[in-house]
Structure 1
Amino acid sequence: MLPHSLLLCLLFLVPTSTSTSGTDGGFTFDGFSGGMLWLDGVASISSRALMLTDGAPQSIGRAFFGRRFDSISSFSTTFVFVITPPYPDLSGHGFAFTVSATPPILDALPSQYMGMFNVENAGNVTNRLFAVELDTIWNKEFRDPDDNHVGIDVNSLVSISTHVAGYYNPDGTFSELLLISGEPMQVWVDYDDSSHLVNVSLAPYLQHKPQRPLLSTTLNLTSILRSSVYVGFASATGTVRSIHRIIGWSFNPDGAAEPLDYSVLSEVIQDVRRADQRSHSHIPKQVLIPAVTMSVIITLVIIVALYVCMKKARGSGEWEIDCGSSSFTYKDLVAATSGFSDKMLLGKGGFGKVYRGVLQASKQDVAIKRVSPESKQGMKEFIAEITILGHLRHRNLVQLLGYSRHKSELLLVYDYMPNGGLDRVLHGQDKQSLHWVCRLNIIKGIASGLCYLHEEWEKVVIHRDIKTSNVLLDNEMNGRLGDFGLARLHNHGTDAHTTHLAGTWGYIAPELARLGRATKATDVFAFGVFMLEVACGRRPIEVNDSGEPVLLTDWVTDVWESGSILKSVDPKLEHYVREEAELVLKLGLLCSHQAHIARPSMRLIVQYLVNDVLLPDFQPSFLGLTSRDEDFDQYIPACPSVATTMTGLSGGR
């Protein structure tokens, strides 16, 4: 096998036969029959069309224009595509138009990763990738509201803006389009560098570009794509196969794209249809439906069998949990802690005690949580933590290394965090202090970790106990979120079923206190309070001179209303960047807004913090409004909230 670097060079040096014509550095493909494209995976030229995927399951296909553009400003592109599914009412994953500052990723994955990302890099800001996805997960019998949609992606599989596929008629009515209909359709993508506005339109083939775009989003692409870029397409199939074809494509890096020649494209479409008829590419219904039915039955049998086995095992006291981490023997952990000596004790809480340990075999420093048998929720928290955290992998989450059970004792083994809990450092219980750069880095890191939990992992994880004492600091003072004993998970596109109040006072959202229902929005509220606590150096609830409790959110708002919000910055900070501190304080207040619909999603919070998106301007008076107030809609910042953001990998990506 060739090394990745060499393979990449070979891929990019092989021209394909495609003809182009270009103006001002742009190009136009009226069919594909000769010229320069970089092809990867199963992508090929067939019947004068660019075939991204050939119908094989679990495959990826990518095609990029044969040279980089030194820069793009107000670019425009349009393309005509046809998606041929195996059967008219069942399809797998779709494809995306991409603009990337880096070459295609060789180890990108198929299925929901759409040939753009893999497990490790999905969501990383270093990807420097903008995409317009056409997501075609669709099943006529089991349709999800997020299926068959168009989305705008930035560095991630989670779209910052989505809409069901279709177009707006001149009279303002909306007509939905089924992307897997097998009929040709046209897409237009326009970006205005002066207004930072991205418009995406979709329409049936040969129909004029709609006056009202399907998607319109403000996005500073210059900050995301700062260097030269590649433009092209990425596509993938999953278990269910589809064929994705591009019939024609026009692109201009600085101005309007040249119109396509529909007379030529119509001939190409006829060639494609004749090729499909010859190859008999559809899977017969009498073969597909029994296969799918049998797969569902087998899956249900396995689930029931596992449930019965786990129930019996728990009843007998003998069990193992697949948590993605190795198990330790009780003897190993006794030796690591010198018999759980008091000199190795790091701290204790309602769950039990935490010890520092050194594993004898590897000499690795670890932290061992010894769950108390008297804890009423000990077993529940233990199982929740090892089944959730054991599968998670993120640089800003505390890594679970394994677990052990000895009689009634439950033990969790983690990476050791030498600088302890953030609360001790922040509130002066330790001698060291945190400068502004370190505090901002911790805030960004925890935001990235929460974004992974909410939007990037295979399930949605609601942490339910975000606070400074659950953020630990590694040897480089990076923040890592831990303690997943209260965490709950659910599928993307669905709601959590938790109705039990959990969390810490001061971090608990108003709706959580009323209804006891934990959501992504309640996690965002707690993160907002966390941001304010880090920036102000004050606890979420403090007692004033009159002996009355004062919420940190109310105190910062009062300071803002009385003058400058920067007066609430921790007085121990001698040097800080005023613009960064103001951003953190205002974003913290927005995240902890009493109306959950006003809170931004974690994806958007990360973009605010790294300046990919500008925080909308709002006044302190907005923080006191509720969704029932008449003026609420006009004051709410024009950005996707956590209440409206789509988060499914296969649906609202």
Structure 2
Amino acid sequence: MNMHQPCFLQYLLLILVPLLLSASAYDRSGEFIFDGFSGNDLITMDAASVTNGLLSLTSGQKELRGHAFYAFPLDFTSAAVPNSSAVLSFSTTFVFAIIGPYDDLSGHGLAFVLSSTNDLFTALPSQYLGLLNSWNDGNSSNHLLAIELDTIQSTQFNDINDNHIGIDINSLSSVASHTAGYYTSNGEFHPLKLISRKPMQVWVDYDSNHIMLNVTIAPYFMSSTKPSRPLLSTIFNLSSILPTATVYAGFSSATGTLNCKHYVLGWSFKLNGEAASLNYSALSVKTIQELAQQVPTSDHPGSYKVLICKILLPIVAIFVLVSAVLVKVHMKRRSQERAELDWQREYGPPSFTYKELLAATHGFKDKMLLGRGGFGSVYKGVMPISKQIAAIKRVSPESRQGMREFMAEITILGHLRHRNLVQLIGYCSHKQHLLLVYDYMPNGSLDCYLHTQDHGNTNLCWAQRFHIIKGIGIASGLFYLHEDWEQVVIHRDIKTSNVLLDSEMNARLGDFGLARSHDHGADAHTTHVAGTYGYIAPELARLGKATKATDIFAFGVLMMEVTCAIRPIWVNTTDGEPLALADWVLAAWQGGSITDAVDPRLDSYVDEEIELVLKLGLLCSHPSPNARPCMRLVMQYLQSDTPLPSDFQPNSLLSIGVIQDEMHDQRAMSCPSAAITDLSKGR
């Protein structure tokens, strides 16, 4: 036996060394496809396994996590651009199915993952989806991108509902999310139920040139025709998230208090190109259908409904009869409260009591006053128990628009989640008192920094102003409202006094009292002029119809105002005549140097950035709405991904002063209920 030991060791080394080498190798091609799974070129961990051609991420037991990664790390380095920090574009598609114990209730979902490591041993199950944990959620050192298919609404992470798809960057608080579903060729949205036990296909595409990440989903039966319009589309530079040389691709899933099984049927991936189509005939769809039929239904909560009804129905009937007698006694009181109760049923109960907000503002004392507008006053408040600082708007009961603004803020802003929008915390409706509670913005409004009489401590340098404008400022928030949320939101009152600055001087767009929302592909149903003089587009003054283009007009004026520190309509001290800011900028451009219009307080700036912002401001405030760019294109201009049109020259613009005169002539035509604000008074 001893004579054969060296020979045996040699054979053992011959077997192990190639395996070790292959395990540490990189996939330089960046392309692979799994038309069903056999376990080859795949690493499964925790509860994950491969059976019957399916990648099973969870075994159906409670409080478990499962991970599966492509065995080889991917090299996202761009060979065409040596030493470049930009990651390559990528495309991937996969078919998945979630099989839970009930038709209307499930465990947690699954996620497609790109990560700097395939060892997520510290991650937790349940709402953490096997990706992160309570102490590293949100850390920039995670280097993680995940596309979550989430079936549980977690208030901890501000989930929009219990059936959504989200884009997660180093955190489970999604940077963008949408109810699961797809758009047809005519723009109609069709929701999908992630826990339907039916296979579905997901596509994830990243364009590094335009730093655009798209996510699309469709039912399995139409997988051969990918919807032309993505469900989610967001601008994000993944170069700051993913290491370029070592990236692992795979899936993560987790269960919570309910048992649930997550399956991946097929998967295709490609770097710097479009992922190859799956061979649908090779996928184990029939196995999934059989597994779905095997799920027992006897334990479903619905099976107890009949029994509960039989027991409780007589009791409920007696209770209803007694209640009917009491209702008659208190009929008068109920009629007085009916409107308030109906309103609360639709929009939810008040978040705060009037007593709490009264205490937070010291009885709405003037020393807590932050400012006044056309619809009420805003106070600084310190919540009695949590000590959280908030901004509390008390809507004036005398305002004709007060209730409409109050409802618009709750129904629209209450559902929006974006880092460049002021967050609505809650509301209170008590008798005649209507109050709205927002995140407190310690640095106040942008208007104060541009137009305050005392410039000593409030001047903004160009870097700060450009930061406020571009893709991580107002432009990003407006892109979300127009393009990236599940509906289109028209703000209708974009101006510097409605741009607030947080503690780090990041811009947040606020005051959604005039905002209106509508479905993508539909028209906004507005018939009245609303907004602030100087920011109102000419076609809005004529027709009273607000559109995305009228918001972009106001944003163009705002960009010029931030750069020049001149109000949209100002009085020439020489002759006392009113002038439009756009005419001032246009005259400087015609004179040969558009930078002559810049705020004289700016002693240091980048000429190219000044020219870009001023010219883009003129383009956005073009007299013709069809000539104005959409917000997606505005973002590309600001990010220098796309140059301004070469034929956009001063002589291509009409005098915008004429347009402003035309707008003022429309005042008499406006509806008496139109909400228009004078620039000198604010709102």
Provide TM-score, normalisation by structure 1. Answer: 0.62
2:556 matched to which residue of 1? 528
Matched, 1:347 2:371: yes
Task: Return closer, same or farther for 1:232/1:335 CA change in 2, 3 Å cut-off.
Answer: closer
Question: Which residue number in structure 2 is paired with residue 109 of structure 1?
Answer: 150
Partner Cα separation in structure 1 for residue 262 and residue 474 of structure 2: 40
- How far residue 485 of structure 1 moved from its aligned partner, in angstroms, is 1.0
- Aligned residue runs from structure 1 range 430-449, under 5 A: 430-431=454-455, 432-443=458-469, 444-449=472-477
Q: The residue matched to 2:146 in structure 1 has which SS?
A: coil
8 Å CA contact 2:147–2:167 kept in 1: the answer is: no
Q: Which residue of 2 aligns with 1:413?
A: 437
Give the Å deviation of 1:76.
9.1
Question: Cα deviations across residues 370-428 of structure 1 (Å, max 9, x unaligned)?
Answer: 22222111111112223333343333322333333443232223333333221121013
For 2:364 and 2:267, the matched residues in 1 are separated by 69
CA contact (8 A) 1:83 1:181 kept: no
Q: Deviations over 1:96-120 (max 9, x none)?
A: 9987774453966258754754996
Indicate the residue corresponding to 2:71 in structure 1. Answer: 66
After superposition, where does 1:266-305 map in structure 2 within 5 Å? Answer: 269=281, 272=284, 275=287
Q: Distance in 2 between matches of 1:562 and 1:60?
A: 66
**Contact 1:247 / 1:269 at 8 angstroms: preserved in 2?**
no
User: What's 1:385 paired with?
Assistant: 409
Alpha carbons 2:563, 2:598 under 8 Å: kept = yes
Is the 2:586–2:650 contact (alpha carbons within 8 Å) kept by the matching residues of 1? no
**Alpha carbons 1:80, 1:246 under 8 Å: kept:** no
Q: Secondary structure at the match of 2:556?
A: helix
Given candidates 559, 562, 583, the residue that maps to 2:591 is 562
Which residue of the other structure, out of 456, 480, 489, is the alignment partner of 1:452?
480
| Alignment-derived partner of residue 228 in structure 1 | 245
Give distance in 1, aligned partners of 2:478 and 2:187: 30
CA contact (8 A) 2:529 2:545 kept: yes
1:94-173 residue pairs with structure 2 within 5 A? 102-105=143-146, 109=150, 113-114=164-165, 116-117=167-168, 121-123=173-175, 137=182, 144=189, 153-154=205-206
Write the distance in 2 (CA, Å) between the matches of 1:95 and 1:330: 42
- Distance in 1, matches of 2:487 and 2:371, equals 31
Q: Is the 8 A contact 1:19 1:29 kept in 2?
A: no
Q: Quick check: 1:181 aligned with 2:221?
A: yes
Query: 2:492–2:546: 8 Å Cα contact kept in structure 1?
Result: yes
Change (3 A) 1:38 1:525: farther
> Retained in 2: the 8 A contact 1:531–1:584?
yes
* Bigger mean CA offset, 577-586 vs 318-327: 318-327
Instruction: Give CA deviations for 1:51-92 in whole Å, capped at 9, x if unaligned.
Output: 89999xxx9998653333333437798989778999xxxxxx
Residue 314 of structure 1: how far off its partner (Å):
6.3
* Residue 429 of structure 1, aligned match among 423, 443, 453: 453
**Preserved CA contact (<8 Å) 2:89 2:207:** no
Match of 2:621 in 1: 592
Q: CA deviation at 1:573?
A: 0.5
Alignment match, 2:570: 542
**1:258-286 deviations in whole A, cap 9, x for unaligned?**
x99xxxx97x9357466468668799xxx
Q: Compute the displacement of 1:245 (Å).
A: 6.3
1:527 deviation in Å? Answer: 1.6
| Contact 1:472 1:480 (8 Å CA) reproduced | yes
Unaligned runs of 5+ in 2: 1-18, 81-87, 100-108, 117-142, 152-161, 193-199, 229-234, 254-259, 296-333, 655-683
Q: Is 1:479 aligned with 2:502? A: no
Q: Is the 8 A contact 1:419 1:474 kept in 2?
A: yes
TM-score where L is the length of structure 2? 0.60
Question: Would the alpha carbon gap of residues 344 and 64 (structure 1) be closer, same or farther in structure 2, given more than 3 Å must change?
Answer: same
State the secondary structure of the residue aligned to 2:453: coil
Q: Could you say which residue in structure 2 is the equivalent of 1:305? A: none
Distance 1:579 1:281, change over 3 A: farther
| Distance of aligned partners of 1:513 and 1:333 in 2 relative to their CA distance in 1, 3 Å threshold | same
Larger radius of gyration: 2
Query: What's 1:37 paired with?
Result: 42
| Deviation readout 1:305-347 (Å, 9 max, x if unpaired) | xxxxxx9676555676476796333333334434333333332
Q: Residues of 2 paired with 1:223 and 1:317: CA distance? A: 49
2:518 is the alignment partner of 1:490: yes
- Contact 1:71 / 1:227 at 8 angstroms: preserved in 2? yes
Q: Which amino acid aligns with 2:465?
A: R
Partners of 1:508 and 1:99 lie apart in 2 by 45
Instruction: Tell me what 1:10 maps to.
Output: none
Q: In structure 2, the residue corresponding to 1:576 is in which secondary structure?
A: coil
Q: Secondary structure at the match of 1:227?
A: coil
Residue 26 to residue 376, structure 1, CA distance change in 2 (3 Å): closer
Count matched residues.
Answer: 527
1:398 to 407, 422, 433: 422
**Which blocks of at least 5 consecutive residues in structure 1 are unaligned?**
1-14, 87-93, 128-132, 166-177, 188-199, 202-217, 284-310, 627-653
Q: Which has the higher contact order (CA 8 A, sep 6+)?
A: 1
Q: Distance in 1 between matches of 2:67 and 2:653?
A: 48
Structure 2 match to 1:337? 361
Whole-angstrom CA distance in 2 between matches of 1:365 and 1:82: 46
Note closer, same or farther for the CA distance 1:396–1:247 as it changes in structure 2 (3 Å cut).
closer
One-letter code of the match for 1:365?
A: I
Percent identity for Structure 1 against Structure 2 = 48
For 2:396, the equivalent position in structure 1 comes to 372
Kindly report which structure 2 residues correspond to 1:194-343, keeping only aligned pairs within 5 A, or say none.
227-228=244-245, 230=247, 232=249, 249=268, 251=270, 253=271, 269=281, 272=284, 275=287, 321=344, 327-343=351-367
2:360–2:383 Cα contact (<8 Å) kept: yes
Is the deviation greater in 568-577 or in 45-54?
45-54
Indicate how the Cα distance of structure 1 residues 317 and 22 shifts in structure 2: closer, same or farther if over 3 A, else same: closer
Q: Do the aligned partners of residues 52 and 246 (structure 1) sit closer, same or farther apart at CA in structure 2, a change above 3 Å counting? A: farther
| Structure 2 residue aligned with 1:518 | 546
Q: 1:333/1:490 Cα in 2 relative to 1: closer, same or farther (>3 Å)?
A: same
Q: Displacement of 1:523 after TM fit?
A: 1.9
Cα distance in 1 for residues equivalent to 2:46 and 2:490: 37
Distance 2:288 2:428 in 1: 57
Secondary structure of 2:508's aligned partner: strand
In the TM superposition, what is the alpha-carbon distance from 1:163 to its structure 2 partner?
A: 13
Name the SS of the counterpart of 2:489 in structure 1: strand
Change beyond 3 A, Cα 1:335–1:581: same
- Deviations 1:412-461 (CA, angstroms, capped at 9, x unpaired): 23333333221121013344211112212222322222233334444432
Alignment deviations for residues 188-226 of structure 1 (CA, whole Å, 9 cap, x no partner): xxxxxxxxxxxx99xxxxxxxxxxxxxxxx999879867
Q: 1:277 to 1:514 in 2, by over 3 A?
A: same
Distance (whole Å) between structure 2 residues aligned to residue 567 and residue 142 of structure 1: 45
Provide the rounded CA distance (Å) in 1 between the counterparts of 2:579 and 2:484. 36
Q: Per the alignment, do residues 44 and 492 of structure 1 end up closer, same or farther by CA in structure 2, a change over 3 Å counting?
A: farther
1:51/1:435 CA distance change after superposition, 3 Å: same
